[in-house]
Amino acid sequence: MSSTPVIIHHLGIVSYEPTYQAMQHFTDTRDADTLDELWVLQHFPVYTLGQAGKREHLLNTGSIPIYHIDRGGQVTYHSPGQLIVYVLMDIKRCNFGVRQLVNALEKAVIDYLASQQINGKRREKAPGIYVNDCKIASLGLRIRRGCSYHGLSLNVNMDLTPFKGINPCGYTGLEVTQLCDLGITDDFEQVTIQFLHFLLNTLNCTEFFLRSNAPASLIHKSNTSHIL
């Protein structure tokens, strides 16, 4: 099977809402010739509640904003120190099914962790990757017009305290962990480079072009607010 070219954008630390709107805009306006993209970034502190998310899993969120969005899954938390990769792929063109895409994202995390001598595992009916029963990576996707957006998050070196304000991913008492607490001393940039190597492999993608600036769609503004 030939590999698929992909554009990688490194966006730095960005606000949630314009990025979310840009993903939707990119997906709605792409055509059969549009190259797939990976958006690599961090978010300012924010909770996101999936399409079927239940408010009962929001416990003590304080002043951190909450967005009810259109990905699958329940509630999670994002902040600086967490690596996020949004996967904007034409999965029909790539001959990927949804389950195959989820498996590829999970395998990238597992393979990266294995390269660091960490044993990451899947859980039945609970997408994401776990180390010693603590969640280290979360997944959430939306498929529209045969194309994916949203993606995965990997906890690197962040303040985990706000996870205590929710039932992470809808599971009461679920503990979370991160790379720095597992003895990984590589800085954020090193982790990003290393992880992308595994992700490109499991997605069967070849880096076509690397950009540091925001994609054009990120400047798209919507009048619709998704904050709760």
Name the residues annotated as catalytic.
169
Query: Exposed, middle or buried, 227 (CB in 10 Å: 0-12/13-18/19+)?
Result: exposed
**CA separation for the pair 75, 172 (Å, rounded):** 12
Contacts of 34 (CB under 8 A, 6+ apart): 90
d(CA 210, CA 112): 21
* Residue 19 token pair: 């990025």
Structure tokens at 17: 């809402």
CA distance 205 to 104: 11
Backbone φ and ψ for 2, nearest 5 degrees, come out as: -75, 150
Retrieve residue 162's tokens.
């706000």
Classify 111 as helix, strand or coil: helix
Q: By CB neighbour count within 10 A (0-12 exposed, 13-18 middle, 19+ buried), where does 220 fall? A: middle
Let me know: does 6 contact 200? Beta carbons within 8 Å: yes
